[in-house]
Chain A
Amino acid sequence: MAKTVLKMILNGKPVERLVSFDDTLLDALREDLGLTGTKKGCGKGECGACTIIMNGKAVNSCIVPALQAMDAAVETIEGIGTVEKLHPLQETFVDYGAIQCGFCTPGMIMSAKALLDKNVVPSREEIKEAIAGNVCRCTGYLKIEEAIMAAAEMMQSQQGK
């Protein structure tokens, strides 16, 4: 099958990988780049488990052709925090009990991050809207929304400094 070199800025670092024309960005991340934090729940753009941020926007990577990410800035769950310094969303998801099985979590956090990167004072409705495409079958969403609210507050005070 025809292959092409995909170049992108992945989690802040330039990467190059040979990918097929019909590979999705999700395939490229999980299979070729070994970044399995991004999950596949449906492969059809219906669940949000594969959400990543591309050029500042949350997208379902399972329906984005890999080559569409050419020269793009791509952020995945692996790139937003470290054990020493978790991202505020990772911190609050842990502390507010927003994580049960954890399968929706990476996509959920990335959807929330795309929102908070643009708007650190979101309303509850805006939060619901931002994660409306992310299915979570475990939590009933309440603790997730609370965690996102709390992360927004953390980010506000960080930015205030």
Chain B
Amino acid sequence: MKKTSIVGKNVRKLDSVEKAMGAATFTTDISLPHMLYGKVLRSPYPHAKIINIDTSEAEKHPGVEAVVCYKNTPRVKFNTSATSTFTIPPLQPVEDQYVFDSVVRYVGDEVAAVAAESMEIAEQAIKLIKVEYEELPAVFDPLEAMKTEAPLLHGQCKEGRNIPGEKIHMEMGDVEKGFEEADEVFEHTFKLPVQKQAQMETQAAVAKVGVDGRVTIWSTTQTPHPSQRILATIFGLPYSKVRVLNPPYIGGGFGVRIGLSAKAEPIAMALAMQAKKPVKVVYDRKEDFIASDTRHSGYVTVKTGVKKDGTFTARKMRGLLNAGAYCSWSAETPGVLGAMGLSVYRCANQMYDGHSVYTNTTPGGAMRGFGNPQAMFAIESQVDIIAEKLGLDPLDIRMKNMMKPGDQWVLPYKCQSSGLEECIKKGAAAINWDCRGKVEKGSTKKRGIGVGIGSHVSNAWPFCGDYSNAYITIHQDGSVLLATGVPDMGTGTITTLAQMAAETLGISFDKVSVTFADTESTPFDIGSHASRTCYASGIAVVAAANDAKKQILQYAAKKMEVEEEELQIENNNVLAINNPEKQLPLNKVAVDAHLEGQQFIGVGKIVPENAPPWLAHFAEVEVDTETGKVKVVKLVAAHDVGKAIHPQIVEGQLHGGLAQGIGYALSEEIKYNDKGQQLNDGFHKYMLPTAVDIPELEAIIVEAAEPSHPFGVKGVGETGLVATAPAIANAIFNAIGIRFFEIPITEEKVYKALLNKENE
């Protein structure tokens, strides 16, 4: 690859000074003249029919300017997730939500909303709404919800009782034959918890309706363009009359708002349309916990056939996820779970079946990793069980079976590069793998080391559609405006995209400005998710930059009387490659062109391929055998990211993912009581890792360049937690010899397991 001067450098992030000064604007900071505050009334029941709703008292309450419920909002079905705008036929999107419905399906479901002059008045007013409910039978467990006596949440589903969308089936080779060839067959089922994104800024939207009917929505969405379509469709407006944008920052996402920000946008919009004034809807933390998507809980079963030497001959997987009350991403997540689960190891005979099941709980949706962490907890735990049984080193069995470029797999794109072996070797060295099992015995605190490997995607295709566009405009002074539809939710998107633009154009980084995440100033982009921005949006930006560059060189070639092919742009100068004396500053070229009636405008329109990033996680833990407390001592994450455009941003992504992975493994879970109420609905009841819980972290960047990206990039946004939980679980097994088939592995569970082991 050509030497780069901006790509690969830790330039100052474009958003960081603003954010450090408290000057960056988030949706929750917006205040407009005459703005009202919206508050939502939520269901106390997990499943009920609204027999009667009387909003008259609330309407009369002084300061109240709008009250909305199912009676006066559009009866248009939708899906809050961006998938509904991008399901590829013959599959059909599952649209099972209204802004408000006459049936509520989980505790926290929307019943009505009020807009008032102040938040206090809005809060008083929702208490004045009288609702008469008829309680309906409810079901909370996906296995129960498939039984014939279970209540139907959304009527008959074509694939089975309470099953949204299509069941997923993937197959290659002959699984039964593979199991016959095996010397040993292993089968285990693993149970996964509900994890919450817990992004720091709650779901929020501000809607403003102009006198001409045009609507502007500032919101926390990770996908302004798809959200524009969802909102325009609900309210029956031309897409061009609905502007969705970030203001421009979002306080985190981790998947929770790929599509709408729960229902903040449509509720703010419905209220604003009725009040004819701007309305701000900000979920409080409890609402964010109980009434916006979570990671899917569920069950994953893995059956693997193995030869004595550790070669995998067959693998059969089944994924069963709890969809919660509405589909959201529940049709796609089981697919990613299976596809990722089957794509880390070479195995000629593989099969996957999976689907989700509706229950009366908070909807499961997208969260960093999107099914993959669920898959890999199961797979990587089982690989260690197999290694233990066959007396193999956990690293050897992985190296022996790991996927390599050119191997056959279930995915429709090719694996063209892999640095996985390097990841495993470097990670093993960093964790001191050779010392595994050699630590002193006898103490009540037992140390152990474990590993987990994995892969992921670099965009959303083939699980849903994916494409990107970008514009590059060269100003008359040679500075550049880059327009891209993707948000920057803290992942450094605008900085890395600007780096790629500057590098491609041969201009300095400080000459680039970015307009982003705004349906009015940027072309369509499916948004920030699926670890795709640096890869897919990046390819579009490079295409736009190359298009602009071609126009510049064509123009300059005439001026300089040199063939276009002999020209290059370097350091803001157009120069002849073989005769660098011959040069023109870019600002001169741009202003000359301007005086002759030409502006250089580059357009990039791309449909990305896809590429697997690779990763190996290593954990060292210390288990206190007297209390059951697990302390993670060190985590190493070696990741093949293809090319780190900005290494510091990449490390930051990995550290953040690791921290969420520690939480997934050891402490984070939303549980329910038998009334369908969420028991962990705030930060004090939901155990997020804080600074004192974080061990030594080591992020190792491996760069096996990816041929399908101009700079060799692969995705990294989600990979940091794909294999963290199994690495920790495997380390715990190494420390105390106890295998956990369920996460989070809490102090209490470990303590009980230690007692049981003693009593055996």
| Chain A residues engaging chain B, CB cutoff 8 angstroms | 1, 30, 34-44, 46-47, 49, 76-78, 81, 83, 86, 90-91, 93-97, 99-106, 109, 127-129, 131-145
A61 CB → nearest B CB, Å = 13
Q: How many B residues face the partner with a CB closer than 8 A?
A: 57
A75 CB → nearest B CB, Å = 11
Residue pair B692, A129 in contact (C-beta under 8 Å):
yes
Partner of A128 from B25, B492, B691 at Cβ < 8 Å: B691
- With a cutoff of 8 Å between Cβ atoms, the chain A residues found around residue B16 in the complex are 93-94, 99, 102
B32 CB → nearest A CB, Å = 13
Residue pair B22, A77 in contact (C-beta under 8 Å):
yes
19 contacts between A and B (CB under 8 A): A35-B22, A39-B251, A42-B284, A44-B683, A46-B683, A49-B200, A90-B21, A97-B649, A97-B652, A100-B656, A103-B200, A104-B200, A136-B691, A137-B252, A137-B254, A137-B659, A138-B200, A141-B655, A143-B655
CB contacts under 8 Å to A, within B699-744, are: none
Residue pair A86, B21 in contact (C-beta under 8 Å):
yes
Given A90-B20, A99-B19, A102-B490, also A140-B656 (CB < 8 A):
yes
Give the interface centre of B16, B31, B649, B682 by most chain A CB atoms within 10 Å.
B16
Q: B251: nearest residue on chain A (CB-CB)?
A: A103
B1-45 interface mask toward A, CB cutoff 8 Å, 1 = contact, 0 = none? 000000000101101111111111110110100000000000000
Counting CB contacts under 8 A, is B285 at the interface? yes
Residue pair B656, A137 in contact (C-beta under 8 Å):
yes
- With a cutoff of 8 Å between Cβ atoms, the chain B residues found around residue A139 in the complex are 652, 655-656, 659
Q: Which 10 A-B pairs have the closest CB atoms?
A: A37-B22, A101-B490, A102-B19, A103-B251, A140-B655, A77-B22, A100-B490, A140-B659, A46-B683, A103-B200
Residue pair A94, B20 in contact (C-beta under 8 Å):
yes
Prevailing SS type, chain B contact patch:
loop
Residue pair B683, A135 in contact (C-beta under 8 Å):
yes
Q: B200: nearest residue on chain A (CB-CB)?
A: A103
Counting CB contacts under 8 A, is B537 at the interface? no
**Docked complex Cα distance between A76 and B17 (Å):** 16
Partner of B198 from A91, A109, A137 at Cβ < 8 Å: A137
Residue pair B691, A100 in contact (C-beta under 8 Å):
no
Q: B199: nearest residue on chain A (CB-CB)?
A: A137
Q: A129: nearest residue on chain B (CB-CB)?
A: B692
**Docked complex Cα distance between A44 and B19 (Å):** 23
Partner of B12 from A95, A105, A137, A145 at Cβ < 8 Å: A95
**Docked complex Cα distance between A83 and B198 (Å):** 31
Residue pair A137, B655 in contact (C-beta under 8 Å):
no
Given A100-B490, A132-B692, also A137-B22 (CB < 8 A):
no
Counting CB contacts under 8 A, is B100 at the interface? no
Given A47-B683, A86-B17, also A101-B252 (CB < 8 A):
yes
Residue pair A86, B20 in contact (C-beta under 8 Å):
yes
Give the interface centre of B10, B25, B201 by most chain A CB atoms within 10 Å.
B201
Residue pair A137, B688 in contact (C-beta under 8 Å):
yes
Partner of A97 from B28, B648, B691 at Cβ < 8 Å: B648
- With a cutoff of 8 Å between Cβ atoms, the chain A residues found around residue B197 in the complex are 137
Q: B284: nearest residue on chain A (CB-CB)?
A: A43
Partner of A43 from B17, B249, B285 at Cβ < 8 Å: B285
- With a cutoff of 8 Å between Cβ atoms, the chain A residues found around residue B648 in the complex are 96-97, 143
- With a cutoff of 8 Å between Cβ atoms, the chain A residues found around residue B284 in the complex are 42-43
Residue pair A99, B21 in contact (C-beta under 8 Å):
no
A31 CB → nearest B CB, Å = 8
In addition to A101-B490, A127-B691, A137-B200, 15 A-B residue pairs with Cβ atoms within 8 Å of each other are A42-B284, A44-B682, A46-B683, A47-B285, A76-B22, A90-B17, A97-B648, A99-B19, A99-B20, A100-B492, A101-B489, A102-B20, A103-B26, A132-B691, A140-B697
**Docked complex Cα distance between A94 and B285 (Å):** 28
Q: A127: nearest residue on chain B (CB-CB)?
A: B691
Counting CB contacts under 8 A, is B651 at the interface? yes
**Docked complex Cα distance between A143 and B29 (Å):** 26
Q: A27: nearest residue on chain B (CB-CB)?
A: B119
Counting CB contacts under 8 A, is B250 at the interface? yes
Counting CB contacts under 8 A, is B558 at the interface? no
Counting CB contacts under 8 A, is B690 at the interface? yes
- With a cutoff of 8 Å between Cβ atoms, the chain B residues found around residue A128 in the complex are 691-692
Q: A42: nearest residue on chain B (CB-CB)?
A: B285
Given A83-B17, A94-B17, A102-B19, also A41-B201 (CB < 8 A):
yes
Given A36-B29, A135-B200, also A101-B22 (CB < 8 A):
no
**Docked complex Cα distance between A49 and B654 (Å):** 23
Counting CB contacts under 8 A, is B221 at the interface? no
Residue pair A135, B688 in contact (C-beta under 8 Å):
yes
A86 CB → nearest B CB, Å = 7
- With a cutoff of 8 Å between Cβ atoms, the chain B residues found around residue A102 in the complex are 15-16, 18-20, 24, 249, 251, 490
- With a cutoff of 8 Å between Cβ atoms, the chain A residues found around residue B120 in the complex are 1
Q: A76: nearest residue on chain B (CB-CB)?
A: B22
